[in-house]
Amino acid sequence: METPNKKINSLTLVSLVVTTSIGSGIFALSSDLAKAASPGPALISWFIVGCGILLLATTLNNLLHERPDLQGIFSYGQSGFGPFTGFISGWGYWMSCWLGNVAFSTVFMSTLGYFFPVFLKNNSLISIIIASLCSWFLTWLVNRGVENAAFINSIITLCKLIPIFTFIIVSIFAFKSGIFTQDFWGNLHNSVGDGSILKQIKNCFMVMMWVFVGIEGASVLSARASSQKAAGRATIIGVLCLLLIYICASILPYGHFTRVQLINAKQPAMVYLFKELVGSWGGTFISIGLLISIFGAWISWTMLPAETLSEMAKKQLLPAKIGQLNKHKAPTFALVITGVMVQIFLITLLFSQEAYELAYSLCTAAVVISYIIVAAFQIKQAKQQGNRLQLAIGWGTLLFELVGITLAGLQYLLVCTIIYLPGIYLYYLARRQLSAPLFSKREKWGVICLIFLGVLALILVLAQIIKI
């Protein structure tokens, strides 16, 4: 990584925005989207989600420059609305980080399944065992202070982008407009899936929001642009490039394969579709790129949740012990807590039908909690400054996140409240030692609601597992 003060140019910044968000999602996107919609509704969804993400990125960018004193996504919550909101935001972000890693691990296993069919089912016992070993191995590496060095990052970025661009170029040549327009709106009498255009648009939301998770990391880097204007421009261009890549990778396949073929493609779909297009070398080519790309992303995202916990401990939102660093300057305790959570969650995947979908949906729902708080902070900040444009951007972001997660599935948000239960206890331990009152009146109501929802969700989930 570059030194913190080094300025970065716009082109590098654009590529950072693009690569920090691309993890595993894009490689499975074509069939995930085909399950949700036909090309017409999917394009409308891309437009809506694209606008929403642009608003979010602009909000993040603005806050970064207005409040350079605040670092870490949860610090906005703490500074604007008090420590408990800071905790809600930080815990949500932490959760999202490791839940995303669970999603990575499922795609990693499915991809290994291309070479070793025993892993094809990504939540079989053997897959879960290997995924757990990988997760602990990465935790161990990061605990020893290992980070992606800049040059390794560039190699990983190339391994990530080359297969994606090759896939897009080949898909352009294979594109046939007749096939593409065959059932453009998914309203023919023999259409697959459940029908109305609105419903199809709604079905796309979760997966589209998932592929943009990580955009907040890019905006942190944009603080190092040469000027605020350059940062703003690079973020917007970056989001637009990302959107274009996602649209091409997910929509072009509708011009060669029927929707049924796309739905039935084995996961990760890009591997199998490309193999279908160019022959068996294609599958191997994408798989290897994919494995390297996930591995790289997985390491960075192993550090991030642990760093979030230790930052929270520093800001007295969690017990100080969690923030302690070892001799390699890595927060061992935070890493272990996170590793244990990943482990528990991997085990529960044994009982789930769609392991990958579950993990990425929960990851997205959790990060939305932090995004909502960021948007609320932007509104507060813009109001104080009387800045109408930023106020509108804040409201737009808030509205998009609220509507987005409602359409994507509030049940995932409910499941996240379970993981808040142990968090509240840790927060309580941390705050008890301070002289300040534990909770304000409003916060008390917040705690009661959260505990109620968490217990309710736990009962519902257990009931579901027992039924299975």
Please tell me the distance from the alpha carbon of residue 271 to that of residue 170, in angstroms, as a whole number.
Answer: 13
Pick the binder of ligand ARG from 80, 214, 289, 394 (CB under 6 A).
214
Give the number of residues in contact with ligand ARG, rule: CB under 6 A. Answer: 17
How far, CA to CA in Å, does 19 sit from each of 159, 167, 198, 242, 271?
11, 17, 31, 9, 19
Residue 74 class from Cβ within 10 Å (0-12 exposed, 13-18 middle, 19+ buried)?
Answer: buried
CB 267, CB 107: distance < 8 Å: yes
Candidates 23-31, 132-140, 260-268, 344-352; binding stretch for ligand ARG (CB under 6 A):
23-31
Tokens found for residue 343: 């482990």
Please give the Cα distance from 240 to 383 (Å, whole number).
Answer: 28
Binding pattern for the stretch 244-283 against ligand ARG, x by CB under 6 A and - elsewhere: ----------------------------------------
Give the CA dihedral 199, 205, 206, 209, nearest 10 degrees. Answer: 180
Binding residues for ligand ARG restricted to 335-374, rule: CB under 6 A: 363
Residues in contact with ligand ARG, shown as a per-residue x/- string from 124 to 163 under the rule CB under 6 A: ----------------------------------------
Choose between 23 and 331: whose C-beta lies nearer to ligand ARG: 23
- d(CA 408, CA 360) in angstroms, rounded, equals 12
- For the bound state, the minimum distance from the C-beta of residue 96 to ligand ARG, rounded and expressed in Å, comes to 5
Residues 281-310 that bind ligand ARG (CB under 6 A): 301
CA nearest 13: which of 297, 217, 225, 211? 225
Compute the CA torsion angle 357, 362, 365, 369 (nearest 10 deg): -160
Q: How far is the CB of 40 from ligand ARG (least distance, A)?
A: 23
Measured from the CB atom, is 79 or 370 closer to ligand ARG? 370
One-character DSSP codes across 194-218: ---HHHHHHHHHHHHHHHTTTHHHH
Which tokens sit at 22? 């691309």
CB of 302 to ligand ARG, least distance (A): 9
Contacts of 338 (CB under 8 A, 6+ apart): 94, 97, 98, 139, 302, 305, 306, 309
Question: By CB under 6 A, what part of segment 82-121 binds ligand ARG?
Answer: 96-97, 100-101, 104
Candidates 7-15, 184-192, 210-218, 395-403; binding stretch for ligand ARG (CB under 6 A)? 210-218
Tell me how far apart the alpha carbons of residues 244 and 249 are, in angstroms, rounded to a whole number.
8
The 29-58 contact track toward ligand ARG, x by CB under 6 A, reads ------------------------------
User: Which one among 13, 14, 19, 23 touches ligand ARG, defined by CB under 6 A?
Assistant: 23
- Report, in Å, the least distance between residue 22 CB and ligand ARG: 6
Residue 238 lies near ligand ARG (rule: CB under 6 A) = no
Q: Which residues in this chain contact ligand ARG in the complex, by CB under 6 A?
A: 21-26, 96-97, 100-101, 104, 210-211, 213-214, 301, 363
